[in-house]
């Protein structure tokens, strides 16, 4: 009844090991997250320029800049941490 039926399932992740998967996910997070962080940093700069001495608007711009830089640092730090975990696991 089922003669010579061969079904091949392709790996949609294109990763053979968990290290490759972690690296691919961290690369994707950096590729998406850093441009967003840069956009928010530029937007904070626009808020600084448009504040024109208004203390409330300057405070909003400072907070936005602070959180954009913190977000960028978290994204880059997560990438380095993922690479360190992969390198450590490959060394075992």
Domains of the chain by residue range: 34-91
73 half-sphere exposure, CB direction, 13 A CA radius: 6
- Specify the pLDDT at position 10: 80
Question: Alpha carbon 58 to chain centroid distance?
Answer: 28
The residue among 46 and 8 whose pLDDT is bigger is 46
State the average pLDDT over residues 29-33.
Answer: 95
Rounded to whole angstroms, the Cα distance separating 80 from 29 reads 12
| Res. 7: pLDDT tops 70 | yes
- Alpha-carbon distance of 71 to 58, in angstroms, equals 20
CA separation for the pair 89, 87 (Å, rounded): 5
Q: What does the alpha-carbon distance between residue 22 and residue 61 come to, in Å, rounded to a whole number?
A: 35
Report residue 17 as tokens.
Answer: 């090991």
pLDDT over 70 at 1, yes or no: no
pLDDT of residue 2: 61
CA-derived radius of gyration, the chain:
22
């Amino acid at each position: 009844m089922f003669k010579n039926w061969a079904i091949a399932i392709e790996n949609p992740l294109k990763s053979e090991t968990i290290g490759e998967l972690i690296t691919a996910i961290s690369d994707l997070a950096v590729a998406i997250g850093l441009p967003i962080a840069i956009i928010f940093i530029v937007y904070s700069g626009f808020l600084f320029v448009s504040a024109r001495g208004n203390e409330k608007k300057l405070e909003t711009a400072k907070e936005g800049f602070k959180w954009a830089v913190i977000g960028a640092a978290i994204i880059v730090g997560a990438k380095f941490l993922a690479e360190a975990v992969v390198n450590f696991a490959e060394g075992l």
